[in-house]
Amino acid sequence: MIRRGHAVLPLAALAALALPAAAFCEAAGRYVPTYDAEKAWYLGELGVTNLLNAGITGRGVRVGVIDLGVGDIVTGAHTNLHCAAKGGKSMRAMHGPAVAGIIASDLYGVAPECEIYAYDNGDGTADDLIAGFAWCVSNGCRVINYSGGMHRFSRGVGNLPEEAAAAKLEELRAAVRAAMSAGIVVVASGGNAPNETLTCPQDVDGVINIGGVARTRKSAGLNDSWAKDFCAFGKDVPIFTSRSGATGAQSGSSFAAPMATGIIALLLQQEPSLTRDEIYGILRSTALRPEGGRTKTHGYGLLQAARVPADYKRQAAFDAEQAAFVRTDSAELLNEGISWNEERGFYETKMRPGESMKLEYRINPANATDRNLYWYCGNMPTFRPIELDQVLTIPAMTKPGEFLVYFARNDARQIVCRLRVDVVAPDPAAPLAEPARELCRQ
């Protein structure tokens, strides 16, 4: 259950405000958005309509969109979305128009007056993506949206030998870090895999990862994991399905990320000097927070568009916190029956279907500030997540001979421990082990 923190106008009232075409209101001296309040239901749910109606529309903020087929959206003689600049290749695909349309189109846009800098990454290779980030930097973008992810077997990486593939992914991470060093806020979608696979650039510290939830604000089954910073809507989202203006609805975290990007553009219009950390702090303070704090489904909560608070946390305060923070760089597993495989560089154990084990571990260095291990399962579509209670349970339907691979990451999403669990046949003569041992944080 999520607590509401902001009032939202009824859809019927919002519909009455929508105009048939974009218009500039001379009396009020501001742009009047032409959103479709009924179709673009997420605008009300995210508090966006309150800002749009007040003339906060992202005006003047340069937003980079790196995607497939991104470009102008034109319906007959009417332009739904005009890009301020275009780079990359010229492809025709549904994904780019859908993403850019959520950010800035007249019907669906969260920030309809922001300036879209569209980079069509064509074949979607790692090199295309690297070039896209550099292009956005050179064009002075303040925020970049990338609704995708690269991994070992992605195009432009999967054909490379292991070392070269790792180097190419690291080159991509360097391009993302260079963008953030230039003052750009990077927003990425959280992924749609049924397991907790973490791809690049979602694994880069500082990237804001956005998960997608259903309109009910419950999980939409889109890769719920500890990498989520926040959530927006990713289920049955109204979108443009082509640059010729066709519309439809799709599901995926790809469509939640641009909602966050648009909200950030609204913040930057109000206060252009905001840093990434300051924006993050505002997003966290205004989000509709889940009961009990951060979760794998919601991150720190459902995003809400808001006015910049006068007392928002300044960069100096973040810098002081970071200077005092000691990050975990490795973890040792201490349970009996778990052994270290020196050759492969991971811990390994054997467990039976339905068996549970509470993981005991030692954090290094001993004075690390955040002493949690954030576990990700990367290879099985059916698994039981390891939560912060550190209990590992093998699903009862798992077959002997299968194996599960878990990665423990620190707060910066860096891998600090790896564990492989080989599933073995139950021994009818032996009872299942109890998950009784207490958590060890020496």
CB contact burial 379-390 (16+ within 10 A = b; e otherwise):
ebeebbbbeeeb
Name the pTM for this structure.
0.88
pLDDT at residue 430 in the model: 54
pLDDT at residue 101 in the model: 96
* pLDDT band for position 317 (cuts 50, 70, 90): very high
Tokens coding 180: 């953030």
Site of tokens 């850019």: 100
pLDDT at residue 322 in the model: 96
* pLDDT band for position 431 (cuts 50, 70, 90): low
Q: How far apart are the C-alpha atoms of 81 and 209, rounded to whole Å?
A: 25
The mean pLDDT of the chain is 88
pLDDT at residue 140 in the model: 98
Contact 192, 170 (CB under 8 A): no
Amino acid at 315: Q
Q: What are 18-55's pLDDT values in tens digits?
A: 333 333 343 345 667 688 888 999 999 999 999 999 99
3: exposed, middle or buried (C-beta count within 10 Å: 0-12, 13-18, 19+)? Answer: exposed
pLDDT at residue 428 in the model: 63
Amino acid at 131: A
Q: How far apart are the C-alpha atoms of 143 and 186, rounded to whole Å?
A: 6
> Cα(first)–Cα(last) distance of the chain, in Å?
35
Q: How far apart are the C-alpha atoms of 298 and 353, rounded to whole Å?
A: 29
Domain 330-423 classification at class level:
mainly beta
pLDDT at residue 248 in the model: 94
The percentage of residues in the chain with a pLDDT greater than 70, rounded to a whole number, is 89
Q: Where in the chain is the domain with CATH 3.40.50.200?
A: 11-322
* Closest C-alpha among 253, 251, 249 to residue 232: 253
Q: How far apart are the C-alpha atoms of 209 and 124, rounded to whole Å?
A: 20
Contact 334, 440 (CB under 8 A): yes
Q: What are 355-408's pLDDT values in tens digits?
A: 999 999 999 999 999 999 999 998 888 888 999 999 999 999 999 999 999 999
In this predicted structure, the answer to whether residue 347 has a pLDDT above a threshold of 60 is: yes
Q: What are 227-272's pLDDT values in tens digits?
A: 999 999 999 999 999 999 999 999 999 999 999 999 999 999 999 9
pLDDT at residue 122 in the model: 81
* pLDDT band for position 90 (cuts 50, 70, 90): confident
* Closest C-alpha among 109, 111, 118 to residue 65: 118
CB atoms within 10 A of CB 425: 10
* Closest C-alpha among 368, 45, 378, 85 to residue 231: 45
In this predicted structure, the answer to whether residue 284 has a pLDDT above a threshold of 60 is: yes
Q: What are 121-162's pLDDT values in tens digits?
A: 888 889 999 999 999 999 999 999 999 999 888 888 888 898
pLDDT at residue 224 in the model: 87
Q: What are 112-122's pLDDT values in tens digits?
A: 999 999 999 88
CB atoms within 10 A of CB 4: 11
Q: How far apart are the C-alpha atoms of 260 and 2, rounded to whole Å?
A: 18
Q: What are 191-226's pLDDT values in tens digits?
A: 888 788 889 999 999 999 999 999 999 999 888 889
Q: What are 72-89's pLDDT values in tens digits?
A: 999 988 999 999 999 998
In this predicted structure, the answer to whether residue 8 has a pLDDT above a threshold of 50 is: no
In CATH terms, the fold of domain 11-322 is Rossmann fold (3.40.50)
* pLDDT band for position 437 (cuts 50, 70, 90): very low
Distances (CA, A) of 219 to 5, 46, 216, 293, 366: 20, 17, 8, 16, 36
Task: Determine the Cα angle at 58 with ends 244 and 79, to 5°.
Answer: 20
Q: How far apart are the C-alpha atoms of 209 and 194, rounded to whole Å?
A: 17
* pLDDT band for position 66 (cuts 50, 70, 90): very high
Q: Where in the chain is the domain with CATH 2.60.40?
A: 330-423
pLDDT at residue 6 in the model: 31
